[in-house]
Amino acid sequence: MIITLKQTNTFKDNADVRRLLVSLHVDVIPVEWKSQSLYVVNGKFSELSRREVAKHSGVEAILPIDRPYKLASKTFRPNNGKIKIGNTLLIGGREIIIMAGPCSVETKHQIEDMGKEVKNAGCHVLRGGAFKPRTGPYDFQGLGKIGLRFLHDAGKKYNLPVITEILDVRDIELVEKYTDIFQIGARNMQNYPLLRELGKSRKPVLLKRGMWATYKELLLAAEYILVGGNEHVILCERGIRTHVQETRFTLDLNAVAYLKHETHLPVFVDPSHGTGRANMVRALSRAGVAAGADGLLIEAHTDPRKSISDADQAISPQELTKLVKEVKRVARAVDRE
């Protein structure tokens, strides 16, 4: 259950509510969001205790939630959540938000050139990995700090917010300095210490679904960030492992429809990793938006075949421009923009 506290409360009022709850033998987890202070309560009250809590002058509401994730649930927040990035960008609103760019930041020029293409195509956010979670330790691991700087500078040059992956809890301070949005990759979806630390940040986190993860596991992973006080979490379906050999992963669009019913968090689709094939990316982008996604994460490269990582799924700037046009048409058909 969640107990929301009145906004007019003093620190003492909140402490008073907490004392009452503790006296009723339930676990109390305080959550401090910018928009609201609340207590997540683990345990059950008797009807008598419930009335006593409801009567307390510091309590705004008691919300029973029959899900293991509480803060992520739609019972807690029935309306779709919105995340503002800077002064102009709104994630989770009517507009479909497209984040695009190379899998890896390779050189200063490469990310700058791609920034220009991403802007011209009409996308909203520039992506680029500086810390890469590669399958083998001898594969290109990303440029690290200098890559973050190149990405940040390219974003500034073309007035685009940037998103980049964080792999290691020790890099949070560094990455936070250069990025507007943290990306948690599929492989780190259940890296609980990393999730908890990002809960302390106030920057948005795009959390990718693990290739093995159930919807419940994804939502519980999001809950780790939310409970820390960071209410800006975006979920991302990026494909799961199935018996299908012909594509790198199977993009599970069931996840989009399911999650849109179950959570107020914005839901994105990554058709690049979801298919692993450049010639399928546009089709699955259209399908993702038709299924209800709030945005897309797309891998694109000025010279796709020369991509250092994920070359098979990188699309060209020309394809990206087509994709944006097609997605806008689908968006209008499903009452979005």
Residues in contact with ligand PEP by CB under 6 A are 103, 129, 133, 185-187, 208, 238, 270, 273
Binding partner of residue 152 among Mn ion, ligand PEP, none, CB cut-off 5 to 8 Å per kind: none
Binding partner of residue 238 among Mn ion, ligand PEP, none, CB cut-off 5 to 8 Å per kind: ligand PEP
Beta pairing class for 37-42 and 27-32: antiparallel
- Please report how close the Cβ of residue 102 comes to ligand PEP at its closest, in angstroms: 9
- Please report how close the Cβ of residue 164 comes to ligand PEP at its closest, in angstroms: 9
Tell me the backbone φ, ψ of residue 315, rounded to 5 degrees: -105, 160
Q: Which of 149/187 has CB closer to ligand PEP?
A: 187
Query: Using CB under 5 A as the criterion, what x/- string covers residues 170-209 for binding Mn ion?
Result: ----------------------------------------
- Contact between 103 and Mn ion by CB under 5 A: the answer reads yes
C-alpha span between 166 and 181 (Å, rounded)? 10
Residue closest to ligand PEP (Cβ): 185
Q: Which of 150/224 has CB closer to Mn ion?
A: 150
- Contact between 310 and Mn ion by CB under 5 A: the answer reads yes
- Contact between 167 and Mn ion by CB under 5 A: the answer reads no
Provide the token pair at 295. Answer: 């945005």
C-alpha span between 74 and 267 (Å, rounded)? 13
Q: Which of 81/185 has CB closer to ligand PEP?
A: 185
Q: 285 burial class (0-12, 13-18, 19+ CB within 10 angstroms)? A: buried
Q: Which of 103/166 has CB closer to Mn ion?
A: 103
Q: Which of 262/310 has CB closer to Mn ion?
A: 310
C-alpha span between 156 and 153 (Å, rounded)? 5
Tell me the backbone φ, ψ of residue 238, rounded to 5 degrees: -130, 20
Torsion of CA 145, 149, 154, 160, to 10 degrees: 90
Question: How far does the chain reach from its first CA to its final CA, in angstroms?
Answer: 36
What residues form DSSP beta bridges with 269?
A: 237, 296
Q: Of the ranges 54-62, 65-73, 102-110, 205-213, which one interacts with Mn ion (CB under 5 A)?
A: 102-110
Q: Of the ranges 61-69, 103-111, 187-195, 198-206, which one interacts with Mn ion (CB under 5 A)?
A: 103-111
Q: Which of 99, 95, 84, 92 is nearest to 336 (CA)?
A: 95
Residues that bind Mn ion (CB under 5 A): 103, 310
